[in-house]
Structure 1
C-alpha cells in the first residue's frame, strides 16, 4: 500500500481575508432563527427528541445518538423554554453559513464570494425551515458542509492529516444522521473517477481516516446489532408509509424551489466543476450527481439532498465572482427576489390563520404537499406544531375524575411519540405523571407496571379495541379542537375498572414493541 503520493496537482489558492459581512450574516442567521422559530410552538418530532435527551443511549430506533445529548443539554441549560429548544438548530445554522464562506475563501473567493455564499445558505428556503427545528437535519447540513470544506482544503494542499480530520467528521456525521452514508458512498465514487485524487485512496492516511470514522461510529453499530437492527425496520416503515408517495420527477423539480436563494449559485458551481479552473473541485460536483442518483433509487424525500448544496453554492459564488462582480450580484439578487415571497411560509412571521390564506395564494404546491402525497391548508411542519398543548389539560381533567387509589396506578399513554412527548413537556406544570407510548424508541422507556387500575389514552385515530375489551368502562374526556392541527379530533379516553389483572397484557405489549418497530 502506498504511504505517500506526489505533490499537489493544483496550486493552492490564496485565501482572502474573512469578511465582516459574512460574520454579520452568520450572526443575523443565528438571532433570526433563534427568536422567530418558536412562535408556533414545538414540532411533533421535537417532543420525541427532547424525551430522548432524558434517555441517553448509543442508539435509537429512529435516529443515531448525537442529537439526544444536545436535546438533554437544551433542557438542562434552558429549562422549559421554546426559544431554548431552538438554540442548537440556530447555532449550527450560523456555523454552516460560516463554513460556506470559508469554502469560498479556500477556493480563492474574495469577500464578495464569501458574502454571497453565506447569504445564499442563510436564506435558502430549505435551510430557513431546517434551522428552526430541533431535528437531525441541521446536523446533517452542517457535517456535509464541513466535508466540503475539508475536501476543498485537501485538493489544494494534499495535507495527509486532513484525511484523518475528514474521517473524524464522517464518523460524527454518521452519529448525527444515517444519510451521511449516501454522501460517503458518492464521494468515494467521485474520487475513484478523479485521477489526481485516486492514488490517495491507497495510502495509510486514507486507511486511517476510514478506521477513525468506523471507530467513532462503532458504538452505534454495536447498539444496532444488540437491538436487532431497528434502523432497518424504520427504513422499511418509511418505505411503506411515506417514501411510496415520493415521485422521482417531483424530487428533481423541487430541488430548485427548495434551494431558491442559492439555486443560481449551485448551478454555477456545478458548471464550474467541469471547467479547467474548477477541476480541483470536480470530486464535489461528481459526488452531487451520485447523491441525487442514490436518492432517486431509494425514493428519498426531496430534502434528503439539502445537505449537498452549501459547498456547491460557495464554489458557484467563486466562479461568478471570477467572471464579474455584477454577474455574482445579479445571480444572488435573482435568487433572493424569488425567495422573498416564500419567507412568510417558512418563518413564523404571520399568524397561523393568515399563513393558511397566504400559502393558498402561492404557486408552489410543494409547500403544502404532505408526506401522504396530498395537498393541505398548511405546510406539514406548521400543522405538526399545532394542538399539542391541548392534551395536558384533558389528561388533568381525566385524572381529577379518579379517586386517589386509582390515580396512583393509572397509566398515561399516547398513541404516538408526539402525544407522549407533548404531555411530558406540558404536564409537569399541571402536576401530571410521566406519559408513555410504545411508538418507536419510547418502548425502551416504558416500565412494566406493578398494578394497573386505570388507563388514560390519547389516540390519533381509532379507539383501541383491545383496551375496550380489557376495561368495563370507557369515557371520551375531550378532543383536540385546534382547526389547524394535524392531530385535530384526537381523543383523550379514560378507561376504568379493568376486568382482569392487566400487568401481563402490558408487559407483553412492551416486549413486542421493543423487539419490533411500531
Structure 2
C-alpha cells in the first residue's frame, strides 16, 4: 500500500573514533570501580539464577540469567566478572546515544556531549554498575530510539523487523519495555507521516517477530500460574504504595542531572516545526511518564527514556549554538559532581556516610520504605553479606556428621541464600535454599530433616520454633553499614517429629504463590 511522502535524508551510520574512546572509557570506569563495596543483594539472586536457567522467573524475564552464567563461566568467582556485562552495555548505550545525536544532525561535538552526559548521569552510573535488569532496559530503549529515528529518516522497511527483534529481546530483559513499546506505537499513531506504516506487512512482521521471541516466556508464565502478576501485586503493596507522584516528577531532573539540560532541549526541539521528524520520540516520552504515573512506578522506571532525548537536545543545541551546547553540558556536569561519590564507590563507606549527610539532596538516602537513612539504599545493600557464611560454618561445626548430613541451610530471602551460595563454597558449605521468589522452584524435597540453619532477616520464624526443641542464636551481622545489620543466624535442632510433610507443604505453597 502507499505510505507517506519521502523521508528526510538519512546520514550514513559511522562511528566516530572519539565516540568509541568515550564508550570504552565508560566501560572501564564502571568495570573497575563498581565492585569496590562488594555485590548488591539483588546480584546474589541473579547469580543464583545462572545455576537454574529457564524461560522465566517469578521476579524477572529470563535474559539476565544466561548473562550471569556467561560471566561466571568466563571470569569465575570474580566481582569484576559480575560487573562485566553491566559495564559493557553501559558503554554500548553511550555509543548508541552518540549515534542518535548523529542521526539527528549533530556533529562530533553533539555526539560526544550526548554520550558524555549519559556516561556520567547519576541514574546510569548506578544502573550500569549492577548486575540487574535495569542496564539492559536502558540499552534496549536507547536502541529502539535509534531504530525508530533511522526508520523515520529512511523508511527502510527492514528496520521494522530489526525493531521487532530488539523489542522481543527487550521484553525478555525487563517487562517495563512494554511501557516504551506502547508509548512508541501511540506516538506513531499521532504522527501522520508514519501512521500508514502501521498497516504494512513489515510492521506486522516486526510485531510477529517480537511475539515469537517473547512467546517462550509467556508460555512459562502461563504454566507457572502467572507469577509476574503476583510480583506486581507485591510491589504495589510493599514498595510502590510509598511512591509520591509529585516526587516521581520532581526527581526526574536530579536523576539525570548531567543530561537534564540536554533532554529538556530535546523535548523543546521535538515540539518545534524543525523537530517534527523526531516528534515520535518526544511524544513517546510523555506517554511513558503518563503510564508510569498511572501505575505508581518508581522514579527510575523512566530512566531508560532519556538517552534518545539527550541526543536530540545535543544535536539541536549543536546546530543552534556550540557554546550553548557545551554550556548546557557543563551545567549538568557541575550539578552531577557532588553526587558522584554516592553512586560510584570512590570514597570509603565511612567517608561516604559523612559525605551524604552534608548533601541537600534527600532522594539519595530515601529508601523504598519512604524514610531517610544514613546511606543510599543500594550502598547499604552491598554490605554484611560476607558475614553469613562464617556464621553458618560455625553452626554446622556444632553438628555431628549424621545430623549435619540432613541439615537444611536456609535463607530468609534471596539475599541471604544467594550470598551463602556465593561465599559458601570456599568454606565447604552445602547449598543454601529459600522459598522467597523463584528460589521456591529450586528447593528439593528433603529425605529427612535433622537440623535447620536459618539466616534470618526481620521477625523470627515462629513455625520453626514450634517444630524444633531447641534454637540457638549462632551470631549476628555486625557491619554498621549493612541494611541487614543485626540479622541472625539461628540453629534449630532436635525436631519434634517428621518435618518432611511440613517442608513439602511450604514448598508447594511458595511455588504456587509469591513470597
- Alpha-carbon distance in 2 for matches of 1:148, 1:330: 25
Contact 1:85/1:134 (<8 A) preserved: yes
- Count of aligned pairs: 515
Say which SS state the counterpart of residue 259 (structure 1) adopts. helix
Say if 1:17 and 1:110, in contact at 8 Å, map to a contact too: no
Name the structure 2 match of 1:247.
244
What SS does structure 2 have at the residue aligned with 1:163? helix
TM-score, structure 2 as length reference: 0.99
Aligned twin of 2:207: 210
Moved more, 74-83 or 378-387: 74-83
Is 1:5–2:33 an aligned residue pair? no
Q: What is the CA–CA distance in structure 2 between the aligned matches of 1:19 and 1:165, rounded to whole Å? A: 23
| Partner-residue secondary structure (3-state), 2:452 | strand
Shift of 1:277: 1.5
The yes-or-no answer on 1:196 pairing with 2:196 is no
Structure 2 residue 323 is the aligned partner of structure 1 residue 333: no
Structure 1 position 21, deviation (Å): 2.1
Output the CA distance in 1 between the equivalents of 2:342 and 2:451: 43
Aligned-partner Cα distance in 2 for 1:462–1:334: 47
CA distance in 2, matches of 1:171, 1:15: 26
2:460 match? 463
SS for the counterpart of 1:419 is helix
TM-superposed CA distance for 1:18, in Å, is 3.3
Instruction: Select between 85-94 and 69-78 the one with higher mean Cα deviation.
Output: 69-78
Shift in Å, 1:6: 3.8
Alignment of 1:279-428 (within 5 A): 279-428=276-425
The DSSP-based 3-state class of the residue aligned with 2:71 is helix
Equivalent residue for 1:66? 63
Give yes or no for contact 2:137–2:170 (8 Å, CA) kept in 1. yes
Displacement, 1:16? Answer: 8.1
Following superposition, the deviation at residue 19 of structure 1 comes to 2.6
Does the alignment pair 1:444 with 2:425?
Answer: no
Is 1:258 aligned to 2:251, yes or no? no
Q: Is the 8 A contact 2:5 2:193 kept in 1?
A: no
Which digits, 9 at most, give the CA deviation of each residue in 1:292-335, with x for residues without a partner? 00000000000000000000000100000000111101010110
Distance 1:16 1:173 in 2: 23
Unaligned stretches of 5+ residues in structure 1: none
Cα distance per residue 1:363-386 (max 9 Å; x no partner): 110000000000000000000001
Where do 1:26-65 residues align within 5 Å? Answer: 26-65=23-62
Classify the secondary structure of the residue corresponding to 1:103.
helix
Query: Which of residues 163, 184, 191 is equivalent to 1:166?
Result: 163
Select the residue among 80, 85, 88 that pairs with 2:82: 85
Q: Is this contact kept in 2: 1:475–1:493, CA < 8 A?
A: yes
Displacement over 3 Å in runs of 4+: 13-18
Q: 1:472 touches 1:496 (CA, 8 Å); kept in 2?
A: yes
For residues 432-467 of structure 1, give each alpha carbon's deviation from its aligned partner in whole angstroms, at most 9, with x where no partner exists: 000000000000000000010000001101211111
Q: 1:196, CA displacement in angstroms?
A: 0.6
Deviates more, 1:185-194 or 1:231-240: 185-194
Following superposition, the deviation at residue 17 of structure 1 comes to 5.1
Whether the aligned pair in 1 keeps the contact of 2:394 and 2:474 (CA below 8 Å) is: yes
Select 2:450's aligned residue among 453, 458, 479.
453
Question: What is the rounded CA distance, in whole Å, between the counterparts of 1:11 and 1:48 in structure 2?
Answer: 47
The alpha carbon displacement at 1:15 in A equals 4.8
Task: After TM superposition, give the deviation of residue 411 of structure 1 in Å.
Answer: 0.1
Once the two structures are superposed, residues 332-366 of structure 1 have per-residue CA deviations (whole angstroms, 9 ceiling, x without a partner) of 01101110111111100001111011001111100
Q: Which residue of 2 aligns with 1:147?
A: 144
Native 8 Å contact 2:56 2:217 kept in 1: yes
Contact kept in structure 2, 1:18 and 1:114, CA below 8 Å: no
Q: CA–CA distance in 2 between the matches of 1:215 and 1:136?
A: 21
- Normalization by structure 1: what TM-score? 0.99
